Structure 1
Amino acid sequence: MEPLMKYLRMLFDNFTLALLAVVFIATVLPCSGEGAVLFGWLTNLAIGLLFFLHGAKLSREAIIAGAGHWRLHLLVFACTFVLFPLLGLAFKPLFVPLVGNELYLGVLYLCALPATVQSAIAFTSLARGNVPAAICSAAASSLLGIFLTPLLVMLLLGASGDTGSGLDAVLKITLQLLVPFVAGQLARRWIGAWVKRNARWLKVVDQGSILLVVYTAFSEAVVTGLWHTVSAQHLAGLFAVCGILLTVVLLGTRLLGRVLGFNVEDRITILFAGSKKSLATGVPMAQVLFVGGGIGAMILPLMLFHQIQLMVCAVLAQRYAARVEEDERVSAPS
């Protein structure tokens, strides 16, 4: 019973419920007019604070501890920034009829995002994988995503996505994401210990920033008719698309880890670090990259994929952990 309750808490945590509540509130009571302008300013400040805290929390010691495993990191980065985008393009004939053109662009945006940090590390730890390497890969992926994701978005979406000019997008990313991140890294020398001591309530600040961005984005999308353009059929199709994408990537990362000769701990790390996409990075980055009412459709696939990846990877992590424990009991001297 206890493992089941732990699993249910992981799937239906307070943040997931808060996300659903915010989408509902934005649908019923969207901000518009002067309220939308005010929320726009608050959102920009929240995004800056979010990436400042990301920089302040990122431990250079943890990165150094896992940095030497370059073959593993290259494979994880290839899965995150090459395999995902290629799958998004290759499956276009299947995905577009299921979700329509607008949500398909959101799927391509999902494919361009970096890996998530917290859940990749948490699941790797639960499954008894190589945790230092997971910390390094996930943190480096998050940092690389600040540079690579805008480039991939321009390559994948091209003229189809309303991203503004390439130079404007790079400038926005630099000012709103990279500058606060670097400032947080520089400030870590003085505030790192304070950030570590107050990690619990700073997590509320992190999540609150994401919720604010989601509310602003969905409000704008609702005002411009998101739920009139996204049918129930396309929404159901989006579940299938996210499931297909995650299944193929999980099988691919597992196969590549085995074929390239990694040990069990490293294969676990590759599986969980290479199959994740970051909600914490993707939502605020969409606010920076995209203009107009299309932001809601851009982040809807990400929000759904985020929940599905948690559900599936929670089961996989539990199974890996049980297998490792069984192996340890078998090999223990009697």
Structure 2
Amino acid sequence: MKKLLAILSKAGLDGFLLMIGMMILLAYFLPQPGMVKEPISLEQIAGVGVSLIFLFYGLRLSVENLKAGLVNWKMHIIVQLTTFLFFPLIVLAFRPLFVGTDFEVLWLGIFFLAALPSTVSSSVVMVSIAKGNIPAAIFNASISSLIGVVVTPLWVGLFIASASGHFDATDIVIKLLLQVLLPVIVGICLNARFGAIAEKYKKQLKQFDQAIILTIIYTSFCKSFSEHLFAGFTALELAGLAAGMIALFFAVFFCVGLLSRLFGFSDEDRITILFCGSKKSLVHGTVMSKVLFQHSTITGIVLLPLMLYHALQLIAASIIAQSMARRKEEK
């Protein structure tokens, strides 16, 4: 247990997972602050925070490093196809089981999770522990985040209208351009001048990211609880959702592992493909939900599968990474 906690601490997400749970409880017992509109709402603060998150993310992206990472293109194609095609298609295959039931919105949350980019920090940490190709992991996680800005909204937009009752494509595209894509581009352009400063204060920037994410989670669940949207879910059904999320992780992990063996990748590259292809980003999920599900009360439910997957993927991936490292040491 101590080793597991040390790994989670290294990823900077141990206390953060606890804070997520606390925000949900706070939203349940004290939803009023999250619903206040005047003089300024927490939603407005989170909206500005989303833009700053992507600006700081762009500041830490070096164009030169991205160009250098293109060398191992076969690996990158497999990782990105897994992240943005294979993952969503798996979840899409189960849609008929949810259509017309009380769990259709929950399926939208699972599909939203499946369409998200890979996480950056924990993917690199797990690849490092398992002794994989770390530069390739950094490249894949970074490029995945950029691709996700475009691909995730395209996937999710196909189903938002049926679940939330409305989908203003023009408004959402404009918001994505202004709140997400533009800040990233500005950040990349400023990398040469301010990239070193952003890297120096990356710990503080990560704390800022987490604060904004917690704010989004709190306000989202305030809306959902105020509309009693979770009243229809039993503890057994939520446990079933958690079991489904860990099953999804292992299904993708197994299939990606098999694919990487068939293509004859080295052990180091295979490790990178496994961890980068099977993980999903809580950061991108929460900030994109702010844009894609704006003014919607279903955001809390939509984020629930992502938060469960995020916690479970960290635990499962850390155990697997340690096991891989031990096997390498024994050789």
* TM-score class, shorter: over 0.9
Q: Please say if residues 66 and 139 of structure 2, whose CA atoms lie closer than 8 Å, have aligned partners that are also in contact.
A: yes
Match of 1:199 in 2: 202
Mapped pair 1:118 → 2:127 = no
Q: 1:79 is matched by which residue type in structure 2? A: T
Mapping for residues 248-263 of structure 1, pairs under 5 Å: 248-263=251-266
> What is the aligned-residue identity percentage?
39
Match of 2:286 in 1: 283
Mapped pair 1:70 → 2:87 = no
Match of 2:274 in 1: 271
Which residue, 81, 85, 93 being the options, matches 2:84?
A: 81
The CA distance in 2 between the partners of 1:43 and 1:294, in whole Å, is 17
The CA distance in 2 between the partners of 1:158 and 1:2, in whole Å, is 45
Match of 1:314 in 2: 318
Q: 1:300 is matched by which residue type in structure 2? A: L
Q: 1:310 is matched by which residue type in structure 2? A: L
Structure 1 residues 236, 94: CA separation in 2 closer, same or farther (over 3 Å shift)? farther
Larger mean Cα displacement after TM superposition, 183-192 or 247-256: 183-192
Q: 1:313 is matched by which residue type in structure 2? A: A
SS in 1 for 2:230: helix
The CA distance in 1 between the partners of 2:63 and 2:304, in whole Å, is 33
SS in 2 for 1:226: coil
Mapping for residues 122-271 of structure 1, pairs under 5 Å: 122-157=125-160, 159-162=162-165, 164-271=167-274
Mapped pair 1:304 → 2:308 = yes
Q: Please say if residues 253 and 274 of structure 2, whose CA atoms lie closer than 8 Å, have aligned partners that are also in contact.
A: yes
Structure 1 residues 241, 83: CA separation in 2 closer, same or farther (over 3 Å shift)? same
Q: 1:6 is matched by which residue type in structure 2? A: A
The CA distance in 2 between the partners of 1:284 and 1:184, in whole Å, is 17
The CA distance in 2 between the partners of 1:264 and 1:106, in whole Å, is 34
Structure 1 residues 35, 293: CA separation in 2 closer, same or farther (over 3 Å shift)? farther
Structure 1 residues 70, 8: CA separation in 2 closer, same or farther (over 3 Å shift)? closer
Larger mean Cα displacement after TM superposition, 166-175 or 58-67: 58-67
Per-residue deviation at 1:10? 6.2
The CA distance in 2 between the partners of 1:261 and 1:145, in whole Å, is 27
Q: 1:326 is matched by which residue type in structure 2? A: E
Q: Please say if residues 99 and 237 of structure 1, whose CA atoms lie closer than 8 Å, have aligned partners that are also in contact.
A: no
The CA distance in 2 between the partners of 1:219 and 1:53, in whole Å, is 28
Match of 1:13 in 2: 14
TM-score, normalised by the number of residues in structure 2: 0.92
Structure 1 residues 18, 311: CA separation in 2 closer, same or farther (over 3 Å shift)? same
| CA offsets 1:189-242 (integer angstroms, 9 cap, x no match) | 222111122122222111111111111111111112232233323211211210
| CA offsets 1:276-326 (integer angstroms, 9 cap, x no match) | 111000101011001310111111100110001000000111111111222
Per-residue deviation at 1:78? 0.7
Per-residue deviation at 1:176? 0.8
The CA distance in 2 between the partners of 1:208 and 1:265, in whole Å, is 34
Per-residue deviation at 1:169? 1.7
SS in 1 for 2:190: helix
The CA distance in 1 between the partners of 2:92 and 2:134, in whole Å, is 32
Aligned length: 327
TM-score, normalised by the number of residues in structure 1: 0.91
The CA distance in 1 between the partners of 2:324 and 2:301, in whole Å, is 35
Structure 1 residues 184, 302: CA separation in 2 closer, same or farther (over 3 Å shift)? same
SS in 2 for 1:105: helix
| CA offsets 1:50-99 (integer angstroms, 9 cap, x no match) | 11111112233432332211110110011001111110011335677998
Match of 1:331 in 2: none
The CA distance in 2 between the partners of 1:36 and 1:248, in whole Å, is 48
Q: 1:54 is matched by which residue type in structure 2? A: Y
SS in 2 for 1:229: coil
Match of 1:39 in 2: 42
Unpaired stretches in structure 2, ≥5 consecutive residues: none
Which residue, 287, 294, 297 being the options, matches 1:293?
A: 297
Structure 1 residues 193, 99: CA separation in 2 closer, same or farther (over 3 Å shift)? farther
Unpaired stretches in structure 1, ≥5 consecutive residues: 328-334
Per-residue deviation at 1:2? 5.6
Larger mean Cα displacement after TM superposition, 86-95 or 52-61: 86-95
Structure 1 residues 194, 316: CA separation in 2 closer, same or farther (over 3 Å shift)? same
Structure 1 residues 307, 26: CA separation in 2 closer, same or farther (over 3 Å shift)? same
Q: Please say if residues 35 and 41 of structure 2, whose CA atoms lie closer than 8 Å, have aligned partners that are also in contact.
A: no
Match of 1:29 in 2: 30
Q: Please say if residues 53 and 209 of structure 2, whose CA atoms lie closer than 8 Å, have aligned partners that are also in contact.
A: yes
Per-residue deviation at 1:38? 1.0
